[in-house]
Amino acid sequence: MAHSYHFLDEVAVADLAFDAMGDTLEELFQGATCALIETLANPETVQATWERTIERQDREPDSLLFDWLSDLVYWKDAAGLVFREAPLTLTAKGGVWMLTARIVGAPVDQRLQELRNDVKGITKHLYELVQEGKKWRARVVLDV
């Protein structure tokens, strides 16, 4: 199945919400990352002129996902960016989950990019990361 996501219109009226799914926890992280990137701008309209490697670790995968998505929002604001892609790997060692990602994007340029939403933050409202059978699912509400 790889990863997937779909937006949830009925969950949050003033905010945006999505469910991300994956056969593995790493695929779930990829799906949630793609959903956030798509929320900000059409990634196909964003050039790859800026790059940063991010490494994070946590014992709890739900905290790691929350912090990782918050990192993307931070870089959007701190450097005035939108993103083209953010390939990542997720591994576990000794009870600690480790995420290594490369975020690729460009400064916001309304003439070149199809901009969508200005996400202010990831919220804890309805936030969850669960394993359902052999699949993983996360619900994320974005403050816009």
Maximal CA-CA distance, the chain: 48
pLDDT tens, 81-130?
999 999 999 999 999 999 999 999 999 999 999 999 999 999 999 999 99
Residue 14 has pLDDT above 70, yes or no: no
Q: Which of 1-10, 25-34, 131-140 has the lowest mean pLDDT?
A: 1-10
3-state class of 48 per DSSP? coil
pLDDT at 15: 85
pLDDT tens, 26-52?
999 999 999 999 999 999 999 999 999
Distances (CA, A) of 28 to 47, 90, 114: 25, 10, 25
pLDDT tens, 53-86?
999 999 999 999 999 999 999 999 999 999 999 9
pLDDT at 6: 78
Q: Which domains does the chain have, with CATH numbers?
A: 3-143 (3.55.10.10)
Contact between 142 and 121 (Cβ < 8 Å): yes
pLDDT at 3: 84
